[in-house]
A and B are shown apart, each in its own frame.
Chain A
C-alpha cells in the first residue's frame, strides 16, 4: 500500500484515539490493545457464534469433570446395537453402552488433550522462540533452531509411536508426544516476531535504563507477541484433537477411557454391518467443535491483528 494510503488509514485509526478533550476529564481509563481487540471481536457475528459453540462444548467438558453428566459411558447392558431411542439418544454400542454418553465423555477427553497440549506448547514455543529470536545469530539461537529442525524432521506418527512405546502405555504418553512435536510451529512464529520486535526502540530504551536481558525478553517483548500466542494456541488445540483421532485409530492414542478417536476406530468395523451410530455421533461432535474453533480462531486473528482495518 502506498505511503499516502497508509497515512490515510492511520488517520482513521488515529483520530479515534487522538487527544479528545472530552476524554481527558480523568473518567476514562486507558484502553489497552486487548480491549480494542475484544471490542472488535464483539462486532464479528460469526466469530461470536463460533465462540458460543465452543463455550457449550467447554461447559459439557466441565460437566463431565465435575461428575454431572456422561458418567455412565462404560456401563454395559444387554441391548447391543440398539437404534436411537428416548433412553439412548444415539443408541448403544456392541456392548450395550450408551453412545451419547460416550460422546459426551469424549468431549472431556478432547478438551484435556487440547488444553494441555495447547498450553504447554504455547509456553514452550513462546519461551524458546523468544530466546532464539532475541539472541538470533548466536549459538543459543542456533541451538533452538537445531532443536526445532530435528523435531520437525521426525515423521510425526513414528515419533508419537516411539514415545508411546517408551512411556509404556502411560495415559499421558500421547500428550507428551504431541507437545514435543507441536511446539515447533509456535516457536518459529514467535521467533520471527521477536526478531522484528527486538530492533524496535522501546527495547533499546529498556536496555538504556539498565534492564537485564531476561526482563526485556519476558516482560517487554513476549507480551507484545501475546496476540500471536493466543491464535497459535487455538490452532494447536484443534490440531491436537484431530491428531488424537488418527492416533487412536492406530491404537497409540487414547489408552484408557473413550474418545472420539476410539469411537471412530471402533465404528470402522460396525459400518460394514450397517451400524452407523457410533460413526455419526463421534464425527458430528468432532466436526462441529473443530469447525467452530477454526472460525473462532480466524475471528480472533482478525480482531487482534494490529494492522487490520476495522469495518
Chain B
C-alpha cells in the first residue's frame, strides 16, 4: 500500500493505517449486568448516553405534501421520514442503511436543515438546531457538513478548487484572507492531494479525486458531524477502497462523528460502529454493527443481508427472496410497513405498528489502555416477533417508541 504512484497528485503515503487499539472495542467480553436494569428504568432514550451523543434525533418526521387539483390543495403526503429517533456518539460512526425510498437520504438532509423538519427535534452537541434564527443557524452550520454522492455534480464546474475550498472560510470569516489560502492547502494535504491542484477545475479530475475535494470542503469549517450521503457509491471499486480508508482515517484522526448513509451493506459494515436499518421512513433495527450483522433480528434486515451478492462462488447463498417491490411512501401499509413482504408476518403485524424494543441492552466495556469507557449502543428492533429482554430473560415492559 505504501508504494510510489503513477499519479503524483494523490499521495497515498499520507494515509497511514492506525493501530488497532485506538478503535473502539467491539468484542463481547465485558458485560455489566447491573446496567440492564438501569437502562430499562431510565426514561431517556438511550439510557444516560445522551450526554455522550453528539447528535440526538428525537421523533423526527419529514413529510412532503403532494398538491393536486385546481387550487393545489394538499391531497396526500409522502412520509419520507416517519418518527425516527437515534443518536450518534462522539467520535463514532453510525451507518444508515436501506434501499431506495426508505428515507435515508431525506433523513440526512433534514438533519442538516436542508429540509425543514415537519416535526421532531434535532440536538447537536446538546443544543437544538431546530427553531433557530437565520443567523444562529448559519453559525451552527459550521458544526455539521455533508459529503455528497455525485462527484460530478457536487463541485461547481466554473470554480477552481481554491475558490471552492475557500468559500466556506470566506463566508464565515475564518482567519485572515492570507491565512485562508494556507488553511486550504492544509485541507488538501489532509485528503491526500497536492497544492498544485488549486488552480484547476473539477472537470480536470477523476471521480475519486473530486470526492476527495468534496471531503476537503466538508472539513473546511472543522465540523463535529459529517453526513456522508452515499459518498462512495459512485466510485469504482479500487477508488472506493482508497476513499473509504481516507474517511476512516480522517474520522479517527479528527475525532469526527459520522453519519454514513449507504445502500451498500458491506461498505457500511466496514466503516461503522453502529448501524441503523431503515424501511419506508422508519428505523426497523439498530445497534452495534457487529451485533446487527451477526445476529439480525428484524426479518427485513435478514433478507437484506442475505441478498448482498458475495464475491465468493463457493458461498452457498441461503438467500431470502422477498416478494414484490418496496411500497410507495405515499400510502404505506397499515401496521408494520414491512408486513406485506415479510416471510414471518403474523396477524397483529397488519394491525399494530410495532414498538421499538431493546433486545440487548447497552453494555459498558472495560477500560482499556486508559481509553475512556465506551459504551456500545443498545440493540433495538421494531418488530412484533421480539420482546424486550434482560440478562436473565425477565421481560420488562416494552419501552415506548423512542
Contacts and interface: CB of A to CB of B under 8 A. Distances in A.
Nearest to B200: A30
B237 interface: no
A272 interface: no
B141 interface: yes
Nearest to B142: A210
B8 interface: yes
Interface in A119-142: none
Given A17-B204, A201-B148, A208-B141, A224 B156 contact: yes
B6 A21 contact: yes
A69 to B, nearest CB: 40
A205 B148 contact: yes
Contact of B167 (A200, A209, A224, A226): A209
A89 interface: no
B201 A205 contact: no
A25 B9 CA distance: 10
B8 A209 contact: no
Contacts of B194: 24
A223 interface: yes
Contact of A24 (B9, B137, B157, B167): B9
B156 A204 contact: no
Contact of B141 (A18, A24, A209, A306): A209
A294 to B, nearest CB: 27
B233 to A, nearest CB: 13
Chain A residues touching B, range: 20 to 34
A209 B168 contact: yes
A200 B332 CA distance: 29
A26 interface: yes
A304 to B, nearest CB: 12
A220 interface: yes
Given A201-B148, A208-B112, A32 B201 contact: yes
A202 B153 contact: yes
A17 B203 contact: yes
Contacts of A19: 7, 9-10, 205-206, 209
A18 B206 CA distance: 6
B324 to A, nearest CB: 27
Contacts of A207: 114
Contacts of A215: 171
Contacts of B204: 17, 30-31
Interface string A7-35: 00000001001110100111001111100
Given A19-B205, A33-B201, A224 B158 contact: yes
B247 interface: no
A192 to B, nearest CB: 18
B171 A211 contact: yes
A202 B210 CA distance: 12
A309 interface: no
Given A21-B7, A208-B145, A201 B150 contact: yes
A121 to B, nearest CB: 22
B199 A220 contact: no
Given A19-B7, A209-B141, A202 B199 contact: no
Contacts of A25: 196
Interface string B296-307: 000000000000
A288 B360 CA distance: 83
B326 interface: no
B155 interface: yes
A206 interface: yes
A184 B255 CA distance: 52
A21 B5 CA distance: 10
B267 interface: no
Contacts of A205: 146, 148, 154-155, 214, 217
A171 to B, nearest CB: 38
Contact of B196 (A26, A201, A224): A26
Nearest to A27: B196
Contacts of B9: 19, 24
A25 B145 CA distance: 32
A210 B172 contact: yes
Nearest to B6: A21
Give the residue among A19, A200, A306 with the most B Cβ atoms within 10 A.
Answer: A19
Contacts of B127: none
B154 A201 contact: yes
B85 interface: no
B167 A208 contact: no
A31 B153 CA distance: 18
Contact of B171 (A24, A209, A224): A209
A199 to B, nearest CB: 9
A29 B221 CA distance: 27
Nearest to A18: B206
A224 B157 contact: yes
B160 interface: yes
Given A207-B114, A208-B141, A33 B221 contact: no
B319 interface: no
Nearest to A21: B8
Interface in B274-329: none
Interface in A173-229: 200-202, 204-211, 215, 220, 223-224, 226
Nearest to B112: A208
A209 B138 CA distance: 8
Contacts of A21: 6-8
A21 B109 CA distance: 38
Interface in A80-133: none
Contacts of B142: 210
9 contacts: A21-B7, A30-B199, A30-B201, A200-B153, A200-B154, A201-B154, A202-B153, A208-B141, A224-B156
Given A204-B114, A205-B217, A208-B144, 11 more contacts: A14-B206, A19-B205, A30-B160, A30-B204, A200-B153, A201-B150, A202-B156, A205-B214, A208-B114, A208-B141, A226-B158
Interface of B: 6-10, 109, 112, 114, 137-138, 141-142, 144-146, 148-150, 153-158, 160-161, 167-168, 171-172, 194, 196-197, 199-201, 203-206, 209, 214, 217, 220-221
Which 6 A-B pairs give the minimum distances between C-beta atoms?
A30-B200, A201-B154, A209-B168, A210-B138, A201-B148, A17-B204
